């Protein structure tokens, strides 16, 4: 079974067909392909049609099978598309075969994310990190349709020895460049380590903003520290870590607040490795503000993906505060009566939650109060700890009771109010 749905007139530099394959619950699947469409838009492409296919397993040669590939080819011709974008990762052979069959460029989700990162990186460190990830990705893609890779080099004045294929030269050049970039990034890691040690000597309390891409981290960062960091309603608007001092008046001291790169489903592992120096800011933080788009219909899945990456970079055990942002996008009937409460996660962890709108300032005072308590050591020490006996809400302080006017419909099965 499958469906192909035209999605309107096209424009822009590249007309693209979006393709997603449902393997029956084996791995995440976006039936709407909305996130892939946002990725395409962020990369400068425009989607002209969406294709949903259903299979038990990927086809070894064409990923979607020959029949579905023929259907996609007809759409390419009918819409005069210039690219086909897949929501899942393709093997090098599948990508090559699809390009030959469809007659247009084919990119998978990983390549699309890498292209966006390459276009958005601003700092020297960010550019190095993206270059490393792209080189590591390209190293597995040399066996493609390019005929020059089959030529052999030889003779006087050439770098390669007699009979050395062009693909071997290209692979060797990539390997050498990867080693160079890794050395430079190692130097960056040492510089950041020195900076972190200086903050530790000054007993600076470190707070990092983490969350799914486009959850509003940069907008919240700007609202808290009155900064002018770039913020936009798009995926991966921020790639480079920005750190500023946030003064907490009630605590009588400042904390270090860092805005970090956003996460996304199926974030390429090599990209996580490449951004290790940047993500280390989160791993070394004293407190994580996990920013969530509370208006998202898939917020549970997005939160789970952030938790997965945090575990991967060694930040899974750091105390968290959930910041449910974009409160202004909720209908009045969906909004909570209290802007601060505590929720209990499936594993028994109790986590403080603050509802905010970074856009209009709602809830920022409550968030600052949570930060003040965290700095002063008065934030409930049992939060983020394993399950404990339930609180007697009747005798507890009202500000700690997560009483809601109506159940918050943004949270689903994986989260429940502790009331």
Given a contact cutoff of 8 angstroms between Cβ atoms, the answer to whether 349 and 386 are in contact is yes
Dist. CA 139–CA 157, nearest whole Å: 26
Which pLDDT value is given to residue 229?
A: 60
Residue 46: helix, strand or coil by DSSP? strand
- Across residues 264-293, what is the average pLDDT? 79
Which pLDDT value is given to residue 134?
A: 86
pTM of the model: 0.73
- Across residues 41-55, what is the average pLDDT? 92
Residue given tokens 């707070």 in the structure block: 207
Which pLDDT value is given to residue 278?
A: 63
What is the tens place of the pLDDT at every residue in 106-144?
999 988 888 888 877 777 777 888 888 888 888 877 644
Is the pLDDT score of 309 beyond 60? Answer: yes
Task: Identify the band that residue 227 occupies on the pLDDT scale cut at 50, 70 and 90.
Answer: low
Q: Which residues contact 175 (CB under 8 A, 6 or more apart)?
A: 139
Question: What DSSP string runs through 47-115?
Answer: EEEEEEEE-SS-BTTTBS-HHHHHHHHHHHHHHT-SEEEESS---HHHHHHHHHHHSSEEE-HHHHHHH
Task: Identify the band that residue 275 occupies on the pLDDT scale cut at 50, 70 and 90.
Answer: low
Residue 342: helix, strand or coil by DSSP? strand
DSSP summary character for residue 188: H
Given a contact cutoff of 8 angstroms between Cβ atoms, the answer to whether 46 and 83 are in contact is no
Which pLDDT value is given to residue 171?
A: 78
Which pLDDT value is given to residue 410?
A: 45
Which pLDDT value is given to residue 230?
A: 53
Which pLDDT value is given to residue 383?
A: 59
Which pLDDT value is given to residue 68?
A: 96
Is the pLDDT score of 266 beyond 90? Answer: no
What is the tens place of the pLDDT at every residue in 229-257?
655 555 665 556 788 899 999 888 999 99
Task: Identify the band that residue 153 occupies on the pLDDT scale cut at 50, 70 and 90.
Answer: very low
What is the tens place of the pLDDT at every residue in 384-408?
544 334 334 343 343 333 333 333 4
């Amino acid at each position: 079974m499958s469906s192909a749905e035209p999605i309107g007139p096209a424009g822009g530099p590249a007309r693209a067909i979006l393709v997603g394959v449902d393997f029956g619950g084996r791995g995440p699947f976006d039936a709407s392909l909305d996130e892939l469409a946002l990725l395409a838009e962020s990369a400068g492409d425009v989607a002209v049609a969406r294709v949903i296919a259903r299979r038990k397993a990927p086809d070894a040669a064409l990923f979607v099978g020959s029949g579905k590939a023929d259907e996609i080819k007809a759409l390419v011709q009918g819409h005069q598309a210039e690219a086909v974008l897949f929501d899942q990762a393709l093997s090098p052979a599948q990508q090559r075969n699809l390009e030959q069959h469809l007659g247009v460029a084919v990119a998978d989700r990983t390549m699309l994310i890498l292209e966006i990162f390459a276009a958005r990186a601003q700092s020297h460190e960010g550019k190095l990190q993206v270059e490393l990830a792209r080189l590591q990705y390209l190293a597995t893609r040399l066996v493609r349709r390019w005929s020059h890779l089959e030529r052999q080099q030889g003779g006087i004045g050439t770098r390669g020895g007699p009979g050395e294929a062009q693909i071997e030269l290209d692979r060797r050049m990539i390997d050498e460049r990867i080693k160079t970039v890794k050395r430079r990034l190692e130097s960056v890691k040492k510089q950041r380590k020195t900076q972190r040690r200086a903050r530790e000597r000054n007993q600076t309390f470190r707070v990092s903003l983490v969350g799914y891409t486009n959850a509003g981290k940069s907008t919240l960062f700007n609202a808290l520290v009155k900064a002018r960091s770039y913020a936009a309603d798009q995926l991966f608007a921020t790639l480079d870590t920005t750190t500023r001092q946030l003064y907490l008046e009630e605590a009588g001291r400042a904390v270090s607040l860092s805005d970090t790169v956003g996460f996304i489903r199926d974030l390429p592992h090599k990209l996580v490795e490449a951004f290790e120096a940047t993500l280390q800011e989160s791993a070394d933080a004293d407190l994580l503000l996990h920013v969530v788009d509370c208006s998202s219909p898939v917020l549970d899945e997005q939160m789970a993906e952030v938790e997965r990456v945090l575990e991967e970079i060694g930040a899974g055990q750091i105390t968290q505060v959930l910041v449910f942002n974009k409160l202004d996008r909720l209908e009045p009937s969906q909004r909570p009566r209290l802007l601060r409460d505590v929720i209990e996660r499936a594993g028994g962890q109790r986590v403080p939650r603050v509802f905010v709108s970074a856009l209009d300032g709602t809830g920022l005072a409550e968030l600052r109060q949570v930060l003040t308590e965290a700095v002063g050591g008065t934030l409930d020490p049992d939060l983020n700890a394993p399950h404990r006996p339930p609180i007697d809400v009747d005798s507890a302080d009202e500000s700690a009771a997560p009483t809601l006017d109506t159940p918050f419909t943004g949270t689903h099965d994986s989260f429940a109010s502790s009331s």
